[in-house]
Amino acid sequence: MIQFGHKEFFWAFSLLIVFVLLYALYGGWKKKALKRMGDSSLMDQIILHRSDFRAGLRFVLLLLALFFLVSGLIDPKVGSRLQNIKRKGIDLYVALDVSNSMLAEDIKPNRLDRAKLAISSLIDKLKGDRIGLIVFAGKAYKQLPLTSDYGAAKLFLSAVDTKIVPSQGTAIGSAINLAAVSFDNPKHNKAIIVITDGENHQDNPVAAAKAAADKGIKVFTIGMGLPDGAPIPLYDKDGNKTYLRDQQGKIVITKLNEQMLQDIASAGNGAYARANNASVGLDNILKSINKIQKKELETKQFTEYEHRFQIFLALALLFLVAELLITERKSNWVDKLDFFGK
C-alpha cells in the first residue's frame, strides 16, 4: 500500500516535458547557428572538444535528477504493517434515482444535484459505517459496492448523472431488490435510503421494501421534489433549454409521489422525509439510522507507513554529481582516460 505525503507537488512532473521541449528547441537553434558559421565537417575540426553525446548525457542525468527530486518531494510512504481494525457501524446502501424527472428544478439547482450534495454531506457524517451506491432509472445498477473508503464514495458519486443509466423510467423496486442482495455480511445491521421523486412506473416497490424488511433491512425514503411539480428541462448541443412534452405537445409536469414513498418507508420499517429548498431531510433520516444498533465490523488496514523520500533524494543527488563530473569539453586527465571517445 502506497501513500503520498505531499500530493500537491505532482504538478512538478510536468517540468520534465517542458525541459525536453526547451532542449529540443535549443538543439535545433544550435545546429542552425553552426551551419551559418561554416561547413559542419570544418566546424568539427575547429571545435575539437565539442561532444554532442556528452551534452545529451548531461541533459539525461539532469532529467533523472529532477524526476527523483520531485519523487522525493511528494514523499512516498509504503505501508509496512497490516492490522485488523475493529470498528462499529452499519452497512448502508443509497439508491439514487437518475431518471430525467430528477432534472426538474423545483428544488434548486435541480433534484439530482441537490440529492448528490446531500449524499456527499451524509458521507462526511458517517463514522465506521460502510456505504454503497445504487443508481436506477428504468433499471438499477450497482455504482459502488460497500466500502469504508469515503473518499472513493465521493469520487463515484461525482460521476453520477442522468446519462449513466441508458433506459429511462423509475424502477424503485428493482433498486431496493438489488441493494438487498448486495449486502455481503448477514451479521451486519443494514439499511437502504431511497432518494427519488417517487414516480414509479415499472414494479412494486412497496412489496420490495416489505421483502427487505423481512430480512432485517430497514428502508428509508427521501422525496425529491415539491407537490406542485415542475417541467423537465431538456438541453440541445448548444445549451438551449426546452421542456419535455407529451404526445399531445403539452409540457410534462413531474410531481412528487409522496404517498408512494410513505408507503415504501412504512413497509420497510423505516422513515420518510421530504426535501425542499431549505433542507433535503437527510439529517432526520440519519438520526433514525443512528438509532440502529451498530455492530462490530472488522477490516484490514495499513496502520504504519514508512517514508521513502530519502531514497529518491539520494538518487537525485547522485545524478546531479554525475552530471557535474561530465563536461562537454574534455580536460587533460579525461583526454587520457578517454571514457567516451571524441
Q: Are 170 and 140 part of one and the same domain?
A: yes
pLDDT in tens, 94-131: 999 999 999 999 988 999 999 999 899 889 988 888 99
Does the pLDDT at position 154 exceed 70?
yes
Q: Are 102 and 244 part of one and the same domain?
A: yes
Distance CA 231, CA 246 (A): 11
Q: Are 21 and 117 part of one and the same domain?
A: no
Q: Which helix (H) or strand (E) holds 301?
A: strand 295-307
Nearest alpha-carbon partner for 215 in 93, 133, 113, 117? 93
Q: Are 316 and 198 part of one and the same domain?
A: no
pLDDT in tens, 11-23: 888 888 998 898 8
C-alpha cell belonging to residue 51: 561532444
Kindly indicate the confidence band of residue 30, based on its pLDDT and cuts at 50, 70 and 90.
confident
Has residue 299 been placed in a domain? Answer: no
Q: Are 62 and 201 part of one and the same domain?
A: no
Does the pLDDT at position 341 exceed 80?
no
Q: Are 125 and 176 part of one and the same domain?
A: yes
Q: Give the DSSP letter of residue 16.
A: H
Count the domains in the chain.
Answer: 2
Query: Which CATH number is 208's domain given?
Result: 3.40.50.410
Q: Residues in the chain, how many?
A: 342
Has residue 309 been placed in a domain? Answer: yes
Predicted local distance difference test score (pLDDT) of residue 339: 46
Distance CA 169, CA 337 (A): 80
Q: Residue 155: give the domain boundaries.
A: 91-293
Q: Are 178 and 273 part of one and the same domain?
A: yes
Predicted local distance difference test score (pLDDT) of residue 321: 87
Does the pLDDT at position 83 exceed 90?
no
Q: Are 178 and 211 part of one and the same domain?
A: yes
Q: Are 139 and 211 part of one and the same domain?
A: yes
Q: Are 156 and 220 part of one and the same domain?
A: yes
pLDDT in tens, 218-269: 999 999 988 888 999 988 888 788 998 988 889 989 889 999 999 999 999 9
Give one DSSP letter per residue of 254-275, joined into a string.
Answer: E---HHHHHHHHHHTT--EEE-
Predicted local distance difference test score (pLDDT) of residue 158: 93
Q: Are 226 and 332 part of one and the same domain?
A: no
